[in-house]
Amino acid sequence: MLNNRRSVWRVGPESRWTTVLPVAFIIVSLCSLVAIPAVVARQTNMMRREISNLAEPARRAANQIQMDLAQELDRIIAFQVTGQTQYRDEYFALLGREERNRVALRELSRRLGGGLEDDLNAVMVHAGRWHEGVRQGELLARQLPAEVWTTRMFERHAAYTKALGAASELELAMQGAIDDRLQRMRSADQWSRWLTLVLTLLALTSALLVAGLGRQMRLLAREAVRRRQDAEREAIESRNARAAAEREERRSAFLAAAGQQLATTLDYDQTIGMLAQLVVSNLAELAVVDLVDSDGTLRRVASAHRDPELESSLAEEHGRVRTNMPEPVVRIMQEREARLIGSSRSLIEYAGGGSEGNRTMIAAPLVTRGEAFGVLIALAKESKPFTAGDLPLFTELSRHAALAIDNARLYLESQQAVRAREEVLAVVSHDLRNPLNAVMLAAQLTETSPALAEEDREQIETISVSARRMSRLIADLLDVTRLEGGKRLPIEPGPVTVASLFEESEELFKAQASAASVTLQMRGSQAVVHADRDRIMQVLSNVIGNALKFTPAGGMITVRAGEPESGEVQFQVSDTGPGIPREHLDHVFDPYWQAKRTERMGAGLGLPIAMGIVDAHGGRIWAESEPGKGTTFRFTLPVDADQARGGISNSSLTLSSANN
């Protein structure tokens, strides 16, 4: 009975499943092979569009923000060292580009999701603090003394570091979004290949049972193979693109780190040596730096080698003039463009790398302000020769290095100039004071002689006046030297009435104003300030005397003092002169600075000293002017403690010295 039982798995001439089931398998397989790749392709294309249209632009924008933040420090240091406004303009251009990238990133991060908006907000917060610190520190408002701006830069460096870190984290987050989509694409491709393989096996199995469908199954199999190859090719292209992006990211990170490291010091020799070490530790086996001397010859100034013994031997060449320069080096210096150079015995010997080996070299000129002042030569390792793809990296590195070296050289020259000026000031202020005192004493003794004729007495008075002016100039030079050294001027403050200051000033300048046909008006109060009387008279003398220089005949100079307010009294000196151009207002308190039309009217020390005296009292001084309508100088002094408690009543005082 068991033998007569019919099995559903028995294959016979009447078994329908032998035809229906394979055909069903083939139909299902064909439908699946058409539908599934289409769905997978649609998903892959959608994710690829997200990468190309959203994630990759967002990553590039984040990378650009990081690069711009890294360059801001270079522009600030360049502006403070050189005083050239082009670096300040470049800084603000970087700010504008950062803002545009942040606006673009805000929209892209919102569409990408994944918490990227939080990373972008962190970048905006830290960058905003850094930029606010730059503004508050006046690092771009004017050129500060070296000690001041280096201190302020150090105080704000933490905010700058946080901004760079936040930008780096944002770029990593953007790269993570790309990697996530790439992973999903790979998963979809793997799933598609696996399912294709299963369906192909089913179709092949069905083809063994249905010979008539064999050709169709083979066509389906070839189609599946073609699609798989396409998917593999796309995967390879995706991997290549990612590898290129990673190389570019490493290149940008290296350049940012190199630029930051080169900007950490203004020491000339240290900056040059740091450049050679950077190249050897990251890119090459040997690196040398040659700079152009004042006579046009090249001199070896720095070198580095991976082998410490060879590096010691290369150090013996430092300071020597390089003769018989190879033609490629001369051509690169003339064309100011980095070049990839093949193996050349003369070049390898010139660089100090021996005469053996088949290695490539890259020579990059150091160019600043349109002139090539040196050359960087790097010798590749035998196991890893340079390619044309390395040229952009060396070009950018040489640009950063040229700027850093030029800044260090300018800083060195400025320090030498400052030392030379200080030595001259020391000679003028100390070695000339003794003979000048002797001249003044002799003139005073001669004036007391009864036998001195009247015409001779006038000459002696001229000598005395000139000697006193020389003594005052020496005192001004000493004061300016103290101020430039970062010291406060010595003062001995006490209670001083504003009225007494105005009376003395009116007596001092009455004759000079009358001779110049200028009306001098003084309006003040009986307020009492806590100040050094002699020093404040020096401030008033400098400011009023400066106003007399520029007020034409028939003009007016008004000196006022307001009532005590917020613990201080504000003084005001206004004239009806031609005024100061807006672009010169920021320089009127700079030592030795004078406008071209006034360059022969003084030494340019009065206003800087006035600012130093007011600062020593804890006050403020500033200038306001409109061309054609005159100039007003204002400064504040603290109120005396007794008057601040209401011990002295105020009353009005007006003095006037009109034209005679």
Mean per-residue pLDDT pooled into runs of 10, the chain (660 residues): 44 50 69 75 78 79 84 84 86 86 80 74 83 82 83 82 83 79 80 77 67 63 86 87 78 78 79 83 84 80 83 79 78 84 75 67 85 84 82 85 84 77 68 71 74 71 71 69 68 90 87 88 85 88 88 91 90 90 81 56 70 89 88 92 57 41
CA-CA-CA-CA torsion sign (603, 604, 608, 610): positive
Distance of CA 392 to the CA centre of its chain: 22
With tokens 């290129």, the residue in question is 244
Predicted pLDDT at 570: 92
Phi, psi at 3, each rounded to 5° = -70, -30
Task: Judge whether 158 and 209 are in contact, CB under 8 Å.
Answer: no
The rounded distance, in Å, linking the Cα atoms of 576 and 629 is 6
Give the three-class secondary structure for 395: helix
pTM of the model: 0.41
Predicted pLDDT at 639: 92
The rounded distance, in Å, linking the Cα atoms of 55 and 68 is 20
Distance of CA 264 to the CA centre of its chain: 12
Kindly give the pairing relationship between strand 631-638 and strand 621-625: antiparallel
Predicted pLDDT at 556: 92
Question: Which two structure tokens, joined as six digits, stand for 417?
Answer: 């100039």
Question: Which two structure tokens, joined as six digits, stand for 369?
Answer: 């302000």
C-alpha torsion angle, residues 532, 536, 537, 542 (rounded to 10): 150
The rounded distance, in Å, linking the Cα atoms of 596 and 603 is 13
Q: What is the helix (H) or strand (E) element at residue 509, kind and residue range? A: helix 498-515
Give the three-class secondary structure for 583: helix
Question: Which two structure tokens, joined as six digits, stand for 535?
Answer: 């020093």
Question: Which two structure tokens, joined as six digits, stand for 37?
Answer: 């790749």
Predicted pLDDT at 574: 92
Question: How many C-beta neighbours within 10 Å does residue 68 have?
Answer: 20
One-letter identity of residue 43: Q
Predicted pLDDT at 633: 93
One-letter identity of residue 87: Y
